[in-house]
Structure 1
Amino acid sequence: MDDETSLLLPPRKRSSIHLGPLPKDRYWLVYFIFYTLGIAALLPWNFFTNAKQYFVYKLRNTTIPQNGSAIQGTAATSGQTELQATFENYLAIAAMVPNVVFMFLNTAATKMIPLKVRMLLAGILMILMFTFTVVLVEVNTDSWQMEFFGITLGTVVIVNAASAILQGGIFGLSGMFPQKYTQAVMGGMGAGGTFAALAEIVSIAGGNDVVKSAFGYFIAAAVIIFIALIAYLTLPFLAYAHYHTETHKELLNAVHSLNADSTSVTVKQPKGSTVSTLILVFKKIWMLALSVFLVFFVTLSCFPGVNSNIASMQQGSSPFTGKYFVPVTCFLLFNVGDLIGRTLAGFGQWPSHNSPLLPLLCVLRAGFIPLFLHCNVQPRSHLPVVFDHDFYPILFMAIFAISNGYLGTVTMMYGPTKVNDEDVETAGAMMSFFLACGLGCGAGFSLLLVKIT
């Protein structure tokens, strides 16, 4: 089979452009590198949201004597300041808006700026921002809380802009590999959230100073991103990774060569601007793109802004219903369930990428919004508490988290399979852009939901 014929085959099924026999992913090294990259890609979101006790302390009412020990209550505790009640929503917006903007810019830049340059610059900027955050941890900000919060939001904007570029690059790169490597990225993102949630619980259990705990959070984030960048740089030296990336380059060269040949009539490759290329790719993946948007819109509408304000109906009757309730039933349960869903997607994908059931399931997740709002969200002044037992938010959260991980991963895995091989990086980045759009719109919507409870 010649090159021209091979380019007419269905996406991801071409085999005529080879660099020899397919090597093995020895010891699953490439898979675990993508897993590590997934952990690093979502670190800004995971570590800023799971450092809730730190921000509650930093934004406290300074007229009430407190020390830096772990706060015993939750976000639902009475006497909280306005900043304590709403900071998660503002953090989410500050994180997701630049995430969306730079996801789009990254998608447009896939044909203009080399992937390696984008990923390395983004990773280095993230490390610098986390280092700056560590410095702020050690500074006494009691006399300038608003300024501290503004600077923190600025830091969140920058670090999430860099994170968006890194995420888009990772999904674009994983699109050149079999589907399980996209699942590895998604699984790594879930594992990073679980790690951050466990770190918070261990900190509370040990009675650690929240300032010292936050110092450890943000230092760990910078170190993990550094390790991920080193792992990324080793990919070209691994035969399996080299095979897939070089085969992709060979395919692109073949396409360009054929397009330059005016006598070729068998290959119809789209010509034109970057915008026209993006439109053509979107036409092929629009249903999956909208599905992943819906999944993460619903998730960010509830988590963490609404979920972290659900208090136990027996608050204070035991350590679990007091200081551990939100860290365990919100952050840990969500991240563990999310990780389970992302892992299950690696064993089998259902429904199929062409099934109308897939977008339907994504739409049905919107039902979680009224379910959570009618749990014991505090403070509240409008809606009644319908689900008046702690079992309900725990059950809802488990299903909510697993469905988020599974449906989000499946749709992300399907995206690059719908396009020609030369467009897989663009498709992966575009899917990541719509994921970020869902996160950003959901984060904004969550601020409204908190106001109406």
Structure 2
Amino acid sequence: MGISGEDTESSRLLTTTSTGSPCKIPKDSYHFAYIIYFTLGAGFLLPWNAFITAVDYFSYLYPDVSVDRIFAVVYMVVALFCLLLIIAYTHKSDAFVRINIGMAIFIVGLLVVPIMDVVYIKGQTGLYSGFYVTVAAVGLSGLGDALVQGGVIGSAGEMPERYMQAVVAGTAASGVLVSFLRIFTKAVFSQDTQGLRRSAILYFSVSIVVMAVCIVFYNVAHRLPVIKYYRNLKAQAVNEEKEEKGSLTAAVWGATLWDILGRVKWYGFGILLIYVVTLSIFPGYITEDVHSKVLKDWYPILLIAGYNVFDLVGKSLTAVYLLENAKIAISACIARLLFYPLFLVCLHGPEFFRTEIPVTVLTCLLGLTNGYLTSVLMILAPKAVQLQHAETAGIVIVLFLVVGLAIGSIVAWFWVI
């Protein structure tokens, strides 16, 4: 059964929280709250996308290090550690504060590269002190990601499904934006020192502007009647739980966390599996293993753009039809393991399968299934717990996602198709 509209979703929330007779639900005028959550979803992935999209620039400056792999390890480890701390202390911290701090940290991390390029590096190679500063900026962005992504997905989990769908679709839009920026810079800028510098500065400048917009949007969001309404619902649910169970001690919170984990573990397993499969194939396979005599070095760029566009399509489809059967969704995540033999055939199979069309079709299907199934599980998981614990459930799901990204990145190193 698909999503049947905001009022129906809201009534479902009211029923599950037992807050008494439902009052009139404020409308999301001009879909402004939806747009805000969409923008936030795009924003918290842009810093990471900026660093990995500018990898040509960093590889030119620091030719003796594996830049992309070091960036991935630092970013993932920092994000993972910080998410564990956030989950442990969610009940003692406020999402509003975490998200604002995280976005401020993002801006600081993003400013490092363009400022250092202009003031210190100036296109010179081998200045490895600059590399260490850049790695520190990547680590800062990992911290910002944990604070912002965990907070945004957690807060979206407390609201009707359409807002989680907005966040997830925003993350896909971030990839599409970066892909088009990559196509633009390759078409317009030369691939020499000055061209690489201009490309990198463009990536980071766009990310800084979007992050500034996110800060404004997020702080405006708290004044919207529709968001205030759902915050009040959560506050009522929290107060009811306090009256029923008493104050939230460390022991009680520990038991609550285990209960939340038990309720969302299969959703988390599905998310983890999605990103193990995706990251072990994309983008490494796309950028290193397949080649085209016709498209040459444009081939991987266009394949990545195709993946990102279809990822956005998949994450947008849940606004039209939401698969509410979690068992089917998780089974579909397991079925995505079939992408391994299919991509293997595209390298070592009959000649036709080694041409551009089969590879392009499979890459787009990889993006489409990644997008749709991610959106489905992200939407369903927070609804498996009581409203007052939806934020924590959302952060736990983000933890599974980051673990999946980390495992997928590691598998990509060792899995030679």
Which amino acid is the alignment partner of residue 345 of structure 1? T
Aligned-pair CA distance for 1:19: 8.1
2:393 corresponds to 1:393: no
2:278 corresponds to 1:299: yes
Instruction: Provide, for residues 139-171 of structure 1, a one-character-per-residue CA deviation record: whole Å limited to 9, x for no partner.
Output: 236442554444333321221121121100001
| CA–CA separation in structure 2 for the residues paired with 1:238 and 1:120 | 17
Aligned-pair CA distance for 1:56: 4.0
User: Where in structure 2 are the equivalents of 1:267-282 lying within 5 Å?
Assistant: 272-282=251-261
Structure 1 partner of 2:37? 34
Structure 1 partner of 2:60? 57
User: Where in structure 2 are the equivalents of 1:407-446 lying within 5 Å?
Assistant: 407-446=373-412
Aligned-pair CA distance for 1:124: 0.6
Q: What RMSD over aligned residues (CA atoms) do the two structures have, in Å?
A: 2.5
Structure 2 partner of 1:341? 314
Instruction: Provide, for residues 381-427 of structure 1, a one-character-per-residue CA deviation record: whole Å limited to 9, x for no partner.
Output: xx889742122221110100000000011001000110111111111
Answer whether contact 1:270 1:277 (CA < 8 A) is retained.
no
Structure 1 partner of 2:224? 238
2:204 corresponds to 1:201: no
| CA–CA separation in structure 2 for the residues paired with 1:368 and 1:96 | 24
Question: CA distance change for structure 1 residues 155 and 260 in 2, over 3 Å: closer, same or farther?
Answer: closer
2:354 is paired with a residue whose SS is coil
Structure 2 partner of 1:152? 134
Structure 1 partner of 2:9? none
TM-score when normalising by structure 1? 0.82
Question: CA distance change for structure 1 residues 56 and 311 in 2, over 3 Å: closer, same or farther?
Answer: farther
2:300 corresponds to 1:326: yes
2:272 corresponds to 1:247: no
Answer whether contact 2:17 2:386 (CA < 8 A) is retained.
no
Structure 2 partner of 1:133? 113
| CA–CA separation in structure 2 for the residues paired with 1:149 and 1:18 | 59
Question: CA distance change for structure 1 residues 18 and 95 in 2, over 3 Å: closer, same or farther?
Answer: farther
Unmatched runs of 5 consecutive residues or more in structure 1: 1-8, 61-81, 262-268, 377-382
Answer whether contact 1:333 1:397 (CA < 8 A) is retained.
yes
Answer whether contact 1:99 1:440 (CA < 8 A) is retained.
no
| CA–CA separation in structure 1 for the residues paired with 2:95 and 2:13 | 25
Structure 2 partner of 1:73? none
Which amino acid is the alignment partner of residue 278 of structure 2? T
Structure 2 partner of 1:220? 206
Which amino acid is the alignment partner of residue 16 of structure 1? T
- Identical counterparts, % of pairs: 25
Aligned match of 1:367 in 323, 330, 338? 338
Which amino acid is the alignment partner of residue 334 of structure 2? V
2:296 is paired with a residue whose SS is coil
2:309 corresponds to 1:309: no
| CA–CA separation in structure 2 for the residues paired with 1:271 and 1:214 | 46
Aligned-pair CA distance for 1:15: 4.9
Question: CA distance change for structure 1 residues 270 and 143 in 2, over 3 Å: closer, same or farther?
Answer: closer
Larger radius of gyration: 1
Structure 1 partner of 2:3? none
Aligned match of 1:352 in 325, 337, 341? 325
Which amino acid is the alignment partner of residue 58 of structure 2? F
TM-score when normalising by structure 2? 0.88
Which amino acid is the alignment partner of residue 261 of structure 2? F
Question: CA distance change for structure 1 residues 432 and 215 in 2, over 3 Å: closer, same or farther?
Answer: same
Answer whether contact 2:168 2:375 (CA < 8 A) is retained.
yes
Answer whether contact 1:96 1:443 (CA < 8 A) is retained.
no
2:28 corresponds to 1:14: no
Answer whether contact 2:62 2:125 (CA < 8 A) is retained.
no
Query: Relative to structure 2, which stretch is displaced further, 235-244 or 107-116?
Result: 107-116
Structure 2 partner of 1:117? 97
| CA–CA separation in structure 2 for the residues paired with 1:375 and 1:93 | 29
| CA–CA separation in structure 1 for the residues paired with 2:349 and 2:69 | 22
Answer whether contact 1:294 1:363 (CA < 8 A) is retained.
yes
Answer whether contact 1:194 1:332 (CA < 8 A) is retained.
yes
1:104 is paired with a residue whose SS is helix
1:349 is paired with a residue whose SS is coil
Aligned-pair CA distance for 1:430: 0.8
Aligned-pair CA distance for 1:358: 1.9
Which amino acid is the alignment partner of residue 368 of structure 1? F
Structure 2 partner of 1:78? none
| CA–CA separation in structure 1 for the residues paired with 2:349 and 2:58 | 29
Aligned-pair CA distance for 1:359: 1.6
